[in-house]
Amino acid sequence: MSENLLLFGPPGVGKGTQAQRLSNVFQIPHVATGDMLRAAIQSYTPLGQRAKAFIDKGQLVPDEIVLELLGERLQQADTKRGFLLDGFPRTIPQAEALGGMLTGYGKKLDHVLVLDAPEEELVTRISGRRICESCQASYHVVAKPARKGGVCDRCGGALIQRSDDSESIIRNRLREFAGKTKPVVEYFLAHGWPVRMIDANGNMDQIFGRIYAAVLLS
């Protein structure tokens, strides 16, 4: 089965976890724009070096560079059976550009999977995340607690909360998402993109079941 999927949703909604499972189940590559940028920079590709010049100045990488990287990635052989796009678009101009690029390559999205959960649930999920200071293993104070409080099961290192996982920063990120990125969903709907709204409440298995059903039954 060939599936071209786009995963969309706010911070903390579980896109990373679900993307990994979808990629494995449908045997399609997970195309995450953040990962692509890092790989291009580490590989010293021409596009990677152009992107690095902006990052080094503390600036956002321009859309045209991200789209060029994405275009290169979507022409690779492993995307012929499908792909799972994650992290792009974040704005309406990006959505317009993505639509034009896909049309130019003779591709289309089969499903736009929009994960949604209440703000308080997202704040709880993100603020409860902990990582090991030594080995970077990840935990959650509710969903995946360490066996011994504050200590990594794997290496015994100290578990810490990332500075950007504090409640005030999380709420600011969610406000930013609501203001800049949520209108993209309205754009998808207005322009006939195949949007599937997914209830992202519950545990990861329940959410995956809803996504899987939406892909197979839509």
Residue in 73, 125, 129, 130 annotated catalytic: 129
Residue in 15, 130, 196, 210 annotated catalytic: 15
Query: Is 210 designated active site?
Result: no
Query: Is 81 designated active site?
Result: no
Q: Answer whether 41's CB lies under 8 Å from 149's CB.
A: no
Residue in 21, 38, 52, 90 annotated catalytic: 90
Bridge-based pairing of strands 129-132 and 159-160 is antiparallel
Residue in 108, 154, 162, 180 annotated catalytic: 162
CB-CB neighbours of 178 under 10 Å: 12
Query: Is 129 designated active site?
Result: yes
Query: Is 175 designated active site?
Result: no
Note the Cα 120 to chain centre separation in Å.
Answer: 20
Query: Is 90 designated active site?
Result: yes
Q: At a CB cut-off of 8 Å and minimum separation 6, what does 168 contact?
A: none
Residue in 73, 173, 196, 210 annotated catalytic: 173
Catalytic sites, residue numbers = 15, 90, 129, 162, 173
